[in-house]
C-alpha cells in the first residue's frame, strides 16, 4: 500500500514492473491507511443517505439469489420464482421471452438468471445475517422481499466503497496524497460509481471493484500469490459480465508483462472461475456462453463501422447515457494523452489499457449502445478505474487555469450524481421510450436510440422527484379477488409502505397484463387496530374480464411508494373465471326467454348472503368502475321486483335479500349504507359509514327486524335530525361523530329522495308524521337545494312518483330535474315512463303493448349489451364534496326491465288483480 509523496508539479510513481518501494519514514503508510478507511466510510454513508435503491429488472436475480443459495442450496430460481418475477410472467419454455425478461428456462426445465451469476455467488457470504434473521423470524414473502432489498443496497454500497478505497491506493502510486484524495472523491461522487454501482446489484458494481483491484495488484510488486490473485481477478471480470472481456484482456496482457516468469500462475488463477462458469452455463443454461449465447445466437448482430462510430458518439455525448455529459471532467483525458504515455514506467500499461477501453467502446457502439432506463453511462462503469488512473498525470500537468476548469467540471459531475441519487426516477425516459416504441414501423432499437438523444429526457433535468423507499417495508394483502356475473373482477385489499399510504398500485393478470390501477386509499379500521397505523391503507379496483379464458388465473399487485419508484409486490392471489352465462343465450330469443335469462343473471350475481354489489365511478361515465356493497341498491331491487316476484320467478331471491337487509338493523334501530361494521365486505368492498335516514327508512319499510322497539328508536332518532321546516337530514349523527364521510357544502343536507323514502316509511308507521312531512315537501319540492343526490340522476325519484300519489302525497316536481343530461341514461327514463303508463291503468291499447314489447326487445338485443355499456345511474354523492362519486347498477337495470316486461304481460293478458307498486315488499 506504500506510495511516495509527490509534488503537484512532479508526480512520483512506483514502476508497475518493479517491486514496491519500502514504507517511507514519517508514517506515510499509516496515514494512507487511515485516509483509505475514512474515504471508504464516507462513501458508504453517502451512498446510503438516499435510503433507496436505484435498480431495474436486471438486478432482481442478484437481489434474491443469495438468500436462495443459503436456504435452498441451488442456483436455480424456481424456489424464489414469485419474488424474482416481481409480478411479471416467468418463461415457461426454453428461449421464451416474457415480462420477466431477466429469467430464462434452462434445458433441465429450471428457471435461471438471464445474467451471469458471479455477482450473487460472490456476495452470498454477506447475506448470512439476513439468512439467520429470516430463519429466526420466518420466511414470509413480504419479510424476505424487505430483507433482500435492504441487503441489495448494503452489498452494492459496500462494493462501491471498497472500490473507492482501492482507487485511492492506486492513485497514491501515481500522485501526491492530496491530489489522490481529491481524485478519489471525484471518482466516488462524480461518476457512475455513485449513481449505478452503489445503488443496486448491477453487474457493473462487481466489475468496477475487480478492475480497480486488478490495477492495485499490477501496480505493486509481483509475488506468487499476487500473480494467482491477478489471474483470478481477470477471469472474474470476464465471467461476471462478458462484454467486459476487453478490459479483462487488457489487464491480462499487462499482467503477463508484470508477472514475467510467473505467468503460469496467472493462468492457474483464472482456471477455477472460468471452469465453474462454463460448467454452469452448459448444465443450467444450455449454452457455453450462458444466456447471452442463447439470445445472441438467434439474432445476427449487425456490425458496421458507421454504426460503431455513431454508437460511440451516443456512449460519450448523448444526454441520457453520455459518459462525458455525466462526468465532464473526463474531457481533459484525451487532451492530456501525451502526458499519460510520456512516463516510461507506465507507458506500456497506458497503451494496452487505452486500447482495451477503445475496443469496448467500439463493441458497445456497434452492438447496442443504449442502456435501458438507468442513470447515465451504465455500460462504461467498469472502465472508470482505468480512466481515473490515466487521469492522474493529466491533472498534475494542468496549468492554474486548467485546474480551475477541471475543478469546475468535477463540481458539475458531483452535482449531477447528487440529483441522480436523490431524485432520479427514470419515469420521463421510460414514458418517452414507450411512446416511441408504439409508433408504427419504429423498431425497439431505433426507439431507444431516439429517446436517448432526446434532450428532454436528460435525467438530471427531467426527473427531480424523490421516491424514498429502501427502509420502507411493504405490508398488505389481496383480500378479495372474485369474478362477478357482469364479467368483471373485483379486487380489494390493503397496503402500507413504511407505515404510510402507497403512491399507487397496479394490477397484473398472469404476469403480463396491467389491467387496472388506483391511487386512492381509504381507512381500514381492522388494519388500524391490528398495526396501529392510521394512514389510509384500503384499496379496491375492478376490471373487465375481456378475453380472459375460463379457468384459473394469477393476480399480482405492484405497489409503488412514489412516482417512478421501483414497484413492490404483494403476495399473489388466484381467481377462477367461470364460463360466460351469455354463451348460453340464443341469438334470436323471445321476450319470455330474455326474462328467464335476466332472472338467471340476477340469481347468479346475488351473493350467498343475499345481496347484490353495485359500482361507482369518479365521473358521470361508466369507466373504471369500483365495486361496493350498499344496502340502498338492494332495497331498491326488492321494491322494483316485489310486485311481480311470482310472475318472473324471483320470490326466493327477494326473500334472501330481505333476510339480509333485516340482519343489518343495528341495536339502536339504525342502518348504515354499507351495512353492519362486522360485515366481511367492510374494508374490502365498502367503508364503515355513519348511519343515515335513507337506508334506515328503506330497510324498516321493506324488511323490518324482529325487535319492534328498534323501529321506535329509529323513528326517535330520525325526528332528532329534522330541519326547522320539517324535512329530514341525511346523517343520523352529529358532525363531530361522522365516520368515513366526505361532506359537501352542507354537511348534513335534506335531500328530495331521502324525504320520499322517509315518507313511505312514516305512511305506514306514523301517518300524522307522514302528513306533516308531505306538507313540508310540497312547500319545497321546487327548491333546487333539495336535489343533492339526484340532481344528475332522476330515475329513483321518477320511480317513486306513483307510490307518493297513491299514498296521498302528490308532488309538483321541477320538470328540469326529471330529465337527464348524462349520456346513455335517457333510455331508463323512457322505461320508467312506460312502466308508469301501465301502472296508471286506463286500458292501454294493443298498440301500446306491442310498442312496449318492441322496446324491451331492443334493450335485450345483443345479450343486453346496452345495459352493460350504460347501466342505470341511480344516484351520486353531493356534487359539492371534494370527491365525486357516481353510482351505477346493472342489476337494478335488469330488475326494471323485468318489471316492465311483467307489467306489460299482465296488462296484455288480464288475470288476477294486480298489486299496487311496492305492495309485495311491504311488511
Q: What is the pTM of this model?
A: 0.60
Q: Which residue has the higher pLDDT, 422 or 443?
A: 422
Residue 915 banded pLDDT, cuts 50, 70, 90: very low
Any residues with CB less than 8 A from the CB of 708 and at least 6 apart, and which? none
Read off the C-alpha cell for 829. 327514463
The pLDDT score that the predictor gives to residue 27 is 47
**What was the pLDDT predicted at 731?**
94
Percent of the chain topping pLDDT 90: 41
Residue 347 is predicted with a pLDDT of 82
pLDDT of residue 910: 62
Looking at residue 299, its pLDDT comes to 46
440-464: pLDDT as tens digits: 667 777 888 888 888 888 888 876 6
DSSP 8-state code for residue 516: E
Q: Exposed/middle/buried for 821, CB within 10 Å: 0-12, 13-18, 19+? A: exposed
* pLDDT (tens digit per residue) in 681-730: 654 444 578 999 999 999 999 988 677 788 999 999 999 999 999 999 99
Q: What is the pLDDT of residues 15-72, one digit of tens each?
A: 333 333 333 333 478 899 999 999 999 999 999 998 888 888 889 999 999 999 999 9
Which is more confident, 919 or 261? 261
Lowest mean pLDDT among 148-162, 482-496, 631-645, 662-676: 482-496
How confident is the model over 754-778, as pLDDT tens digits?
Answer: 999 999 999 999 999 999 999 999 9
Residue 585 confidence (pLDDT) above 60: no
- pLDDT one-digit tens code per residue, 322-370: 999 999 999 999 888 878 777 777 788 889 999 999 999 999 988 888 8
- Asked if 82 contacts 140 with a C-beta cutoff of 8 angstroms, the reply is no
Q: How far apart are CA 25 and CA 76, in angstroms?
A: 54
- Around Cβ 737, how many Cβ atoms within 10 Å? 9
Give the lowest-confidence range in 59-63, 99-103, 886-890.
99-103
CA 263, CA 659: separation in Å to the nearest integer?
Answer: 89
What residues contact residue 461 under an 8 Å CB cut-off, 6+ apart? none
Query: What is the distance in angstroms between the CA of the first residue and the CA of the last residue of the chain?
Result: 95
- For residues 788 and 797, is the Cβ–Cβ distance under 8 A? no
Amino acid 436: pLDDT? 67
What pLDDT does residue 90 have?
Answer: 82
Phi and psi angles of residue 299, each rounded to the nearest 5 degrees, phi first:
-120, 130
Are the CB atoms for 501 and 562 separated by under 8 Å?
A: no
In the structure, how many helices (H) and strands (E) does the chain have? 36, 14
- Quote the pLDDT of residue 236: 94
Burial class (CB in 10 A: 0-12, 13-18, 19+), 205: buried
Average pLDDT (288-309) is 61
Mean pLDDT for the chain?
A: 84
pLDDT of residue 129: 94
| Helical pair 631-641 and 651-663, crossing angle rounded to 10 deg | 140
Distance CA 171, CA 14 (A): 11
- Of residues 464 and 849, which shows the higher confidence score? 849
Q: Is 598 exposed, middle or buried (0-12, 13-18, 19+ CB in 10 A)?
A: buried
- What pLDDT sits at residue 8? 34
Q: What pLDDT, on a 0 to 100 scale, did the predictor assign at position 614?
A: 87
pLDDT tens digits for range 202-250: 999 999 999 999 999 999 888 999 999 999 999 999 999 989 999 999 9
Average pLDDT over residues 375-394: 92
Q: What is the pLDDT of residue 579?
A: 60
Degrees to nearest 5, angle at CA 380 with 235 and 327: 140
Q: What does the pLDDT read at residue 20?
A: 36
Q: What is the mean pLDDT of residues 641-654?
A: 91
Number of C-beta neighbours around residue 336 at 10 A: 21
| Ranges of H-type helices in 785-845 | 795-806, 826-839
d(CA 75, CA 284) in angstroms, rounded, equals 9
The Cα 767–Cα 777 span in angstroms is 15
pLDDT one-digit tens code per residue, 316-334: 999 989 999 999 999 999 8
Q: Which residues pair with 627 in a beta bridge?
A: 615
pLDDT at 571: 81
Per-residue confidence (pLDDT) for residue 108, from 0 to 100: 80
Amino acid at each position: 500500500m506504500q506510495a511516495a509523496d509527490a509534488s503537484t508539479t512532479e508526480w512520483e510513481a512506483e514502476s508497475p514492473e518493479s517491486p514496491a518501494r519500502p514504507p517511507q519514514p514519517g508514517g506515510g503508510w499509516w496515514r494512507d491507511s487511515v485516509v483509505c478507511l475514512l474515504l471508504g466510510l464516507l462513501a458508504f454513508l453517502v451512498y446510503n443517505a438516499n435510503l433507496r435503491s436505484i435498480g431495474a429488472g436486471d438486478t432482481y436475480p442478484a437481489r434474491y439469489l443469495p438468500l436462495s443459495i443459503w436456504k435452498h442450496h441451488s442456483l436455480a430460481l424456481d424456489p424464489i420464482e414469485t419474488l424474482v418475477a416481481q409480478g411479471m410472467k416467468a418463461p415457461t419454455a426454453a428461449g421464451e421471452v416474457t415480462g420477466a425478461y431477466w429469467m430464462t428456462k434452462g434445458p433441465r426445465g429450471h428457471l435461471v438468471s438471464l445474467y451471469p451469476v458471479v455477482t450473487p455467488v460472490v456476495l452470498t457470504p454477506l447475506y448470512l445475517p439476513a439468512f439467520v434473521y429470516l430463519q429466526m423470524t420466518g420466511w414470509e414473502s413480504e419479510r424476505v422481499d424487505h430483507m433482500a432489498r435492504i441487503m441489495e443496497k448494503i452489498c452494492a454500497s459496500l462494493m462501491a466503497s471498497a472500490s473507492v478505497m482501492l482507487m485511492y491506493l492506486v492513485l497514491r502510486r501515481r500522485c501526491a496524497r492530496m491530489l489522490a484524495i481529491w481524485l478519489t472523491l471525484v471518482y466516488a461522487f462524480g461518476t457512475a460509481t455513485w449513481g449505478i454501482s452503489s445503488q443496486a446489484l448491477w453487474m457493473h458494481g462487481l466489475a468496477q471493484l475487480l478492475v480497480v483491484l486488478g490495477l492495485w495488484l499490477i501496480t505493486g510488486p509481483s509475488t506468487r500469490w499476487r500473480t494467482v490473485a491477478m489471474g483470478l481477478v481477470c477471469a472474474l471480470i470476464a465471467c461476471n459480465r462478458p462484454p467486459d472481456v476487453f478490459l479483462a484482456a487488457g489487464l491480462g496482457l499487462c499482467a503477463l508483462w508484470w508477472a514475467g516468469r510467473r505467468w503460469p500462475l496467472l493462468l492457474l488463477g483464472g482456471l477455477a472461475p472460468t471452469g465453474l462458469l462454463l460448467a454452469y452455463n452448459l448444465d443450467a443454461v444450455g449454452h457455453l456462453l450462458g444466456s447471452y449465447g442463447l439470445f445472441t445466437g438467434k439474432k445476427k448482430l449487425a456490425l458496421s463501422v458507421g454504426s460503431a462510430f455513431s454508437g460511440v458518439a451516443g456512449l460519450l455525448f448523448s444526454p441520457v447515457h453520455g459518459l462525458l455529459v455525466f462526468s465532464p471532467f473526463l474531457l481533459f483525458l484525451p487532451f492530456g494523452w501525451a502526458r499519460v504515455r510520456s512516463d516510461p514506467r507506465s507507458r506500456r500499461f497506458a497503451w494496452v489499457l487505452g486500447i482495451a477501453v477503445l475496443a469496448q467502446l467500439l463493441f458497445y457502439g456497434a452492438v447496442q449502445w443504449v442502456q435501458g432506463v438507468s442513470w447515465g453511462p451504465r455500460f462504461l462503469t467498469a472502465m472508470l478505474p482505468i480512466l481515473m488512473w490515466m487521469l492522474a498525470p493529466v491533472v498534475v500537468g494542468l496549468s492554474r487555469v486548467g485546474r480551475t476548469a477541471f475543478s469546475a467540471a468535477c463540481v458539475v459531475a458531483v452535482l449531477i450524481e447528487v440529483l441522480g441519487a436523490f431524485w432520479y426516477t427514470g419515469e420521463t425516459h421510460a414514458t418517452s421510450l414507450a411512446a416511441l416504441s408504439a409508433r408504427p414501423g419504429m423498431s425497439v432499437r431505433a426507439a431507444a436510440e431516439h429517446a436517448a438523444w432526446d434532450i428532454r429526457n436528460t435525467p438530471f433535468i427531467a426527473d427531480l422527484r424523490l421516491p424514498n423507499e429502501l427502509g420502507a417495508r411493504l405490508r398488505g394483502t389481496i383480500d378479495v379477488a372474485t369474478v362477478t356475473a357482469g364479467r368483471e373482477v373485483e379486487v380489494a385489499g390493503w397496503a402500507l409502505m413504511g407505515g404510510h399510504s402507497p403512491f399507487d398500485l397496479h394490477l397484473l393478470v398472469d404476469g403480463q397484463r396491467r389491467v387496472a390501477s388506483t391511487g386512492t386509499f381509504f381507512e381500514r379500521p381492522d388494519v388500524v387496530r391490528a398495526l396501529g397505523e392510521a394512514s389510509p391503507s384500503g384499496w379496491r379496483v375492478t376490471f373487465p374480464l375481456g378475453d380472459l379464458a375460463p379457468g384459473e388465473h394469477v393476480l399480482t399487485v405492484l405497489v409503488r411508494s412514489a412516482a417512478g419508484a421501483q414497484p413492490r409486490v404483494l403476495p399473489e392471489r388466484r381467481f377462477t373465471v367461470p364460463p360466460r352465462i351469455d354463451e348460453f343465450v340464443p341469438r334470436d330469443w323471445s321476450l319470455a326467454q330474455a326474462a328467464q335469462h335476466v332472472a338467471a343473471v340476477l340469481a347468479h350475481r346475488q351473493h350467498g348472503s343475499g345481496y347484490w354489489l353495485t359500482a361507482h365511478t369518479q365521473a358521470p361515465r361508466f369507466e373504471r368502475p369500483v365495486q361496493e356493497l350498499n344496502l340502498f341498491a338492494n332495497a331498491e331491487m326488492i321494491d322494483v321486483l316485489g310486485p311481480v316476484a311470482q310472475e318472473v320467478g324471483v320470490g326466493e331471491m327477494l326473500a334472501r335479500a330481505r333476510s339480509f337487509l333485516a340482519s343489518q338493523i343495528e341495536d339502536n334501530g339504525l342502518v348504515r349504507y354499507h351495512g353492519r361494521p362486522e360485515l366481511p365486505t367492510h374494508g374490502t368492498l365498502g367503508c364503515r359509514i355513519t348511519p343515515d335516514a335513507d337506508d334506515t327508512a328503506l330497510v324498516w319499510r321493506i324488511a323490518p327486524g324482529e325487535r319492534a322497539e328498534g323501529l321506535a328508536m329509529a323513528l326517535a332518532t330520525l325526528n332528532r335530525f329534522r330541519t326547522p321546516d320539517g324535512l329530514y337530514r341525511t346523517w343520523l349523527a352529529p358532525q363531530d361523530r361522522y365516520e368515513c364521510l366526505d361532506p359537501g357544502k352542507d354537511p348534513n343536507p335534506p335531500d328530495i329522495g331521502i324525504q320520499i323514502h322517509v315518507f313511505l316509511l312514516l305512511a305506514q308507521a306514523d301517518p300524522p308524521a307522514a302528513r306533516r312531512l308531505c306538507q313540508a315537501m310540497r312547500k319545497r319540492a321546487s327548491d333546487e337545494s333539495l336535489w343533492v343526490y339526484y340532481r344528475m340522476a332522476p330515475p329513483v325519484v321518477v320511480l317513486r312518483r306513483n307510490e307518493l300519489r297513491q299514498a296521498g302525497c302528490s308532488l309538483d316536481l321541477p320538470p328540469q330535474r326529471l330529465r337527464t343530461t348524462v349520456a346513455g341514461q335517457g333510455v331508463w327514463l323512457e322505461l320508467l315512463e312506460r312502466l308508469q303508463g301501465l301502472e296508471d291503468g286506463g286500458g292501454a291499447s294493443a298498440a301500446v303493448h306491442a310498442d312496449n314489447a318492441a322496446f324491451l326487445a331492443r334493450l335485450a338485443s345483443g345479450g343486453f349489451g346496452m345495459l352493460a355499456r350504460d347501466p342505470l345511474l341511480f344516484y351520486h354523492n353531493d356534487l359539492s364534496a371534494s370527491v365525486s362519486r357516481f353510482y351505477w347498477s346493472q342489476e337494478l337495470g335488469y330488475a326494471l326491465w323485468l318489471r316492465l316486461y311483467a307489467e306489460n304481460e299482465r296488462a296484455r293478458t288480464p288475470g288476477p288483480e294486480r298489486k299496487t307498486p311496492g305492495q309485495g315488499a311491504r311488511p
